[in-house]
Structure 1
Amino acid sequence: MTTTRAAVLWDEPGTFNRYVDECCGICCEHLNQHLIAAPFYRGRYVSLIIPTGFANQAYSRLLPGLRAASERIERFVENGGRLLVFGAADERPGAYDWLPFGVEYHFEFGQRRLAVADGAERYIQLLDGYDLDAVETDGFFPAHEGEVIAATPEGQAVIIRKTVGKGEIVVTSTHEYPSAKFMGTFCTAERETLF
């Protein structure tokens, strides 16, 4: 028996929440920067999702909450949770310093041609239905401690992943909604994990 459940971390519920809930058919809860940092909050999810622009103060105030909850996020993933993080959409360094592994991000909008790493079929489903010769992105990861899933022919990593304990983290700078097929797989597991 499996369960499908996700939480979208953002200041207020928005179109991404509706996409996950209505288009992907995934039971989706909204979490904001106050809840994730509150020690009394307890929720159970298969995956946590952080949309594009989380570090850009013009769009979101989520980054301080992510930093305050970094140990909690790491524990969630170590215990079997899954984390999907999109582009920071900000030039300042350190936007991913709350993750349990090193990730540097270069902010730069553009279409990029992507090559998929061998054995990465499960993760490249993120872009199912998109033209891999012209994927909208908001940057790339010039340095990281993860495994490259997709990169440009020049070697600019656009999708990376990392196993942490029993769970995993996928970080992507793709500036498109993830496919419903990928979301269905990524947000489904045999059990939920306590956050």
Structure 2
Amino acid sequence: MRTGLLWDAPVTFQRYVEDCGASCELVTPQLCAAPFFRGSFGALIVPTGFANPVYSKTLVALRASSDRVRRYLERGGALVVFGAAIDRPDAYDWLPFRLVYRHQYGPCRVEPVESGLFEALFGGYDAAALECDGWFEEADAEVIATAAGRPVAVARRVGDGLVIATTVHEYPARSFLDAIGADRKETLF
């Protein structure tokens, strides 16, 4: 499966995805927002810190590309988005559903609500001490996991596609590509 990583420059997350068995293409904010860009991906990943201007300019591009993101999902694409890493409740307003974020970094005891998807994403980690960079105060999505009763991982189907949003501040388990549908056809972004 070909995976897109939305970030400003090459990062170790890209190599991690490749080590998990998928090819991984860096999609910079400039490419994301460019009308001529036509990448096809089974999954898109937005790493932690996407909304924090100290780390990335990705949020601006995601907002400019919100229609493109929605179409990608409706056609069957998968999107995994991590924590915003800044106290911006509106950091996820580019998604085609409501998701309100609250930033607070620290170790958390994470409780799975939907164990299959949680295990696929974070299996192998000590759920009693996972680093999280916040929680979702409002989520028009299915809760996958909570910390102190607050959602820290959610999932939502959009058309034929799937969005997984999480504030867990760890690389996902090596099996995560299978969890989001490694057999998923590549979809035009």
**2: distance between equivalents of 1:92 and 1:143?**
13
Question: Paired residue for 1:33?
Answer: 29
- Residue 183 of structure 1: how far off its partner (Å): 2.4
From 121, 144, 152, the equivalent of 1:126 is 121
Amino acid at match of 2:33: A
TM-score, length-scaled by structure 2: 0.96
Query: 2:76–2:184: 8 Å Cα contact kept in structure 1?
Result: no
Question: Paired residue for 2:100?
Answer: 104
From 72, 88, 111, the equivalent of 1:76 is 72
Query: 1:124–1:149: 8 Å Cα contact kept in structure 2?
Result: no
TM-score, length-scaled by structure 1: 0.93
Q: Is 1:46 equivalent to 2:33 in the alignment? A: no
Amino acid at match of 2:119: I
From 67, 84, 88, the equivalent of 1:88 is 84
- Alignment coverage as a number of residue pairs: 189
Question: Paired residue for 1:12?
Answer: 9
**1: distance between equivalents of 2:62 and 2:119?**
26
Q: Please give the root-mean-square deviation of Cα atoms over the aligned residues, in Å.
A: 1.2
Query: More displaced, 123-132 or 62-71?
Result: 123-132
**2: distance between equivalents of 1:166 and 1:160?**
17
Query: 1:123–1:182: 8 Å Cα contact kept in structure 2?
Result: no
Question: Paired residue for 1:144?
Answer: 139
- Residue 117 of structure 1: how far off its partner (Å): 1.4
- Residue 187 of structure 1: how far off its partner (Å): 5.2
**2: distance between equivalents of 1:37 and 1:189?**
27
Question: Paired residue for 2:177?
Answer: 183
**1: distance between equivalents of 2:184 and 2:163?**
18
Query: 1:7–1:31: 8 Å Cα contact kept in structure 2?
Result: yes
Regions of 4+ moved over 2 Å: 183-187
- Residue 191 of structure 1: how far off its partner (Å): 1.5
**1: distance between equivalents of 2:88 and 2:162?**
25
Q: Is 1:156 equivalent to 2:150 in the alignment? A: yes
What percent of counterpart residues are identical?
46
From 53, 60, 77, the equivalent of 1:57 is 53
**2: distance between equivalents of 1:190 and 1:106?**
32
**2: distance between equivalents of 1:114 and 1:48?**
24
Q: Which blocks of at least 5 consecutive residues in structure 1 are unaligned?
A: none
**1: distance between equivalents of 2:82 and 2:33?**
20
- Residue 190 of structure 1: how far off its partner (Å): 4.2
**2: distance between equivalents of 1:31 and 1:190?**
19
Q: Deviation string for 1:21-66 (max 9, x for gaps)?
A: 1x21211111011111111111111000000000001100111100
Q: Which blocks of at least 5 consecutive residues in structure 2 are unaligned?
A: none
Question: Paired residue for 1:193?
Answer: 187
- Residue 87 of structure 1: how far off its partner (Å): 0.1
Q: 1:5 to 1:123 in 2, by over 3 A?
A: farther
